Amino acid sequence: MKEHTEVTIYDIAKKLNLATSTISRALKDHHSISKKTIEKVKKTAEEMGYRPNNLAASLRSKKTKTIGVLLPTIEQPFLASLISGIEITAKKAGYNVIIVQSHDSYKGEVNLVQSLYNNRVSGIICSLAMETKDTSHFQLFIDSNTPLVFVDRVPKEEFNTYKVIIDNYNAGYKATKHLISQGCKRIAHLAAGSEFSIYYERKKGYLDALKEFNLPIEDELIVKLDGITLEEAARATNKLLDLKNPPDGIFAPGDILGVSAIQCAKKRGIKVPEDLAVIGFNNDPISQIIEPHLSTITNPGSKMGQASAEIILKTLKSKDKDEVKETRVLNTEVIIRESSKRK
């Protein structure tokens, strides 16, 4: 078997009696190199089977053309489309994407941040792990002037970085208001996440909508979940429907939860939406499969990914780093389907 040896710009230089610098420039269409030389070099490179070594180039230039993406998981439709949006945008600009999953573990996140740094990614896009309260492990990137964008699950205000989010408070408000508009008087909420999460924002929107329309806020209508699963939501929904005075509407801050609520209600012979109107969140595929189809709030994953990547690319281009980091807030929409149409 023939030994494989890498063809380098040095080999091309030797063959053409040129300097490596000329080769290097020619391969990048540097303006100072004559067209003739450029063509000749490219042709020879092709013939010799030359393949640029990005590692060497990155080491020298200190530019890796790689974006690190750190997410809780990729096995959620919303996050998968987020990644897809990032990948497409990055690729267009000639960037690669390294993807790592924290599995919602704080410790995991810290390690992965280190690892991404060690790979000298050009920028990093992150959605925080559920467990994460403190974000000092990202200081690394700030100190080294590496663009950092948080998306979806972002840190608290005080941390000055780029953010790409939706207005979770407003979305929760809109979802609840929609149920109210359908005549719901006792609207329940499945409360997920911790006090510092996007779910908390959605809950605040829910609460404020109730207040605004003079509907009572009742503790028994707000059930805490231990996780975003069908099972937890089923447990919670059963609890709600067991009440003396059960709800006539549910705002579920995730489609899995909303779907589970519907399944649960149906099993008990409770009619959706007549007896119980339900609205979810995310517009996952399952929302259009469940019967009745689940009303929901759009969560523009792909656009958020695109926006995040664009911010990274823009920041890399502009030498002067602005001290005030923008926060992009993308729009959400209420999608009304059968699960909540009562009028």
Partner DNA sequence: TTGTAGGCGTTATCAT
Partner DNA sequence: ATGATAACGCCTACAA
| Bridge partners, residue 73, by sequence | none
Helix ranges, the chain (H) = 9-16, 20-27, 35-48, 54-61, 77-92, 106-118, 139-143, 168-181, 198-212, 230-241, 255-267, 301-317
In the set 13, 38, 45, 97, which binds its own copies (CB under 8 A)? 97
Kindly state whether residue 191 participates in binding its own copies, applying the rule CB under 8 A.
no
Q: Which is nearer to DNA, 45 or 82 (CB)?
A: 45
Write out the H or E segment, with its range, that includes residue 101.
strand 96-101
Collect all residues with Cβ–Cβ distance below 8 Å to 27 and sequence separation of at least 6: 9, 41, 42, 45, 52
Query: 68: which DSSP letter?
Result: E
Q: Which is nearer to its own copies, 83 or 187 (CB)?
A: 83
Site mask for its own copies (CB under 8 A), range 54-73, x = bound: xxx-xx----x-x------x
Q: At what angle do helices 77-92 and 301-317 cross, to 10 degrees?
A: 30
- Both tokens of residue 159? 């941390």
| Bridge partners, residue 334, by sequence | 297
Residue 10's binding partner among its own copies, DNA, none (Cβ under 5 to 8 angstroms by kind) is: DNA
Kindly state whether residue 270 participates in binding its own copies, applying the rule CB under 8 A.
no
Kindly state whether residue 80 participates in binding its own copies, applying the rule CB under 8 A.
yes
Q: Which is nearer to its own copies, 216 or 285 (CB)?
A: 285
φ/ψ (deg, to 5) at 330: -90, 155
DSSP, collapsed to helix, strand or coil, labels residue 278 as strand
Residue 143's binding partner among its own copies, DNA, none (Cβ under 5 to 8 angstroms by kind) is: its own copies
Q: Which CA distances in Å does 175 have to 12, 249, 278, 327?
A: 64, 11, 10, 23
Task: Compute and round to an integer the Cα radius of gyration of the chain.
Answer: 26
Cα torsion through 50, 54, 56, 57, rounded to 10: 100
In the set 34, 52, 224, 268, which binds its own copies (CB under 8 A)? 52
Question: Is residue 174 within 8 Å of residue 334, measured between CB atoms?
Answer: yes
Q: Which is nearer to its own copies, 99 or 329 (CB)?
A: 99
Kindly state whether residue 181 participates in binding its own copies, applying the rule CB under 8 A.
no
Alpha carbon distance 223, 190 (integer Å): 5
DSSP, collapsed to helix, strand or coil, labels residue 151 as strand
Site mask for its own copies (CB under 8 A), range 223-262, x = bound: ------------------------------------x---
Helix ranges, 68-217 (H) = 77-92, 106-118, 139-143, 168-181, 198-212
Residue 96's binding partner among its own copies, DNA, none (Cβ under 5 to 8 angstroms by kind) is: its own copies
Residue 339's binding partner among its own copies, DNA, none (Cβ under 5 to 8 angstroms by kind) is: none
Q: Which is nearer to its own copies, 197 or 229 (CB)?
A: 229
Shortest spacing between CB 22 and DNA, in angstroms: 3
In the set 39, 47, 291, 333, which binds its own copies (CB under 8 A)? 291
In the set 26, 38, 83, 166, which binds its own copies (CB under 8 A)? 83
Residue 98's binding partner among its own copies, DNA, none (Cβ under 5 to 8 angstroms by kind) is: its own copies
Shortest spacing between CB 119 and DNA, in angstroms: 12
Residue 31's binding partner among DNA, its own copies, none (Cβ under 5 to 8 angstroms by kind) is: DNA
Residue 259's binding partner among its own copies, DNA, none (Cβ under 5 to 8 angstroms by kind) is: its own copies
Q: Which residues bind its own copies (CB under 8 A)?
A: 4, 51-56, 58-59, 64, 66, 73-75, 77, 80-81, 83-84, 87-88, 91, 96-101, 114-115, 117-120, 140, 143-145, 259, 263, 285-286, 289-291
